[in-house]
Copies of this chain bind each other. A is one copy, B any other.
Amino acid sequence: MATLADIGVSAALNILGAFIFLIAFAILRLQPFNDRVYFPKWYLKGLRDSPTHGGAFVRKFVNLDFRSYIRFLNWMPEALKMPEPELIEHAGLDSAVYLRIYLIGLKIFVPIALVAWSVLVPVNWTNDTLDVAVKISNVTASDIDKLSISNVPLKSQRFWTHVVMAYAFTFWTCYVLLKEYEKVANLRLQFVASEKRRPDQFTVLVRNVPPDPDESVSELVEHFFLVNHPNHYLTHQVVVNANKLAKLVKKKKKLQNWLDYYQLKYSRNNSKRPMMKTGFLGLWGEKVDGIDYHISEIEKLSKEIAEERERVVSDPKAIMPAAFVSFNSRWGAAVCAQTQQTRNPTLWLTEWASEPRDVYWQNLAIPYVSLSVRRLIMGVAFFFLTFFFMIPIAIVQSFASIEGIEKAVPFLKPVIEAKFIKSVIQGFLPGIALKLFLIFLPTILMIMSKFEGFISLSSLERRAATRYYLFNFVNVFLGSIIAGTAFEQLNSFLKQSANDIPKTIGIAIPKKATFFITYIMVDGWAGIAGEILMLKPLIIFHLKNFFLVKTEKDRVEAMDPGSLGFNSGEPRIQFYFLLGLVYATVTPLLLPFIIVFFALAYVVFRHQIINVYNQRYESAAAFWPDVHRRIIAALIISQLLLMGLLSTKKAALSTPFLIALPVLTIWFHYFSKDRYESAFVKYPLQEAMMKDTLERAREPNLNLKGYLRNAYIHPVFKGEDDDDDALFNNEENENVLVLTKRQSRRNTPVPSKMSGASSPSLPEVVQEDPEP
Contact = CB atoms under 8 A, between A and B. Distances in A.
Interface of A: 189, 227-229, 231, 334-335, 338-343, 345-346, 348, 372, 376, 379-380, 493-500, 663-664, 667, 670-671, 674-679, 682-687, 689
Nearest to A688: B228
A345 to B, nearest CB: 4
Contacts of A346: 674-675
A685 B339 contact: yes
Nearest to A377: B667
Pick the most buried of A189, A229, A380, A686: most chain B CB atoms within 10 A of its CB: A686
Nearest to A491: B499
A336 B673 CA distance: 22
A624 B504 CA distance: 43
A664 B373 CA distance: 10
Contact of A340 (B227, B372, B493, B685): B685
20 contacts: A189-B343, A227-B689, A231-B231, A335-B335, A339-B684, A340-B683, A342-B686, A342-B687, A343-B684, A345-B674, A345-B676, A345-B677, A345-B678, A345-B682, A376-B664, A494-B497, A494-B498, A494-B499, A495-B499, A495-B500
A686 B497 contact: no
A228 B689 contact: yes
A655 to B, nearest CB: 12
B685 A228 contact: yes
Contacts of A345: 674-679, 682
A340 B689 CA distance: 12
A162 to B, nearest CB: 22
A683 B685 CA distance: 18
Given A345-B679, A493-B498, A380 B663 contact: yes
A610 to B, nearest CB: 29
A670 B372 contact: yes
A675 B208 CA distance: 13
Nearest to A335: B335
A341 B674 contact: no
A43 to B, nearest CB: 37
Contacts of A500: 495, 497
A495 B229 CA distance: 59
Nearest to A495: B497
B227 A343 contact: no
A340 B228 contact: no
A675 B373 CA distance: 13
Contacts of A231: 231
B339 A682 contact: yes
A81 to B, nearest CB: 31
A675 B231 CA distance: 29
A341 B497 contact: no
A170 to B, nearest CB: 15
Contacts of A671: 372
Contact of A682 (B189, B340, B686): B340
Contacts of A494: 497-499
Contact of A497 (B380, B497, B683): B497
Nearest to A674: B372
Given A495-B497, A499-B495, A667-B376, A686 B341 contact: yes
Contact of A338 (B189, B228, B340, B689): B340
Chain A to chain B: the 7 pairs with minimum beta-carbon distance, closest first: A345-B678, A340-B682, A338-B339, A376-B667, A342-B686, A495-B497, A494-B499
Contacts of A496: 497-498
A587 to B, nearest CB: 27
Nearest to A499: B494
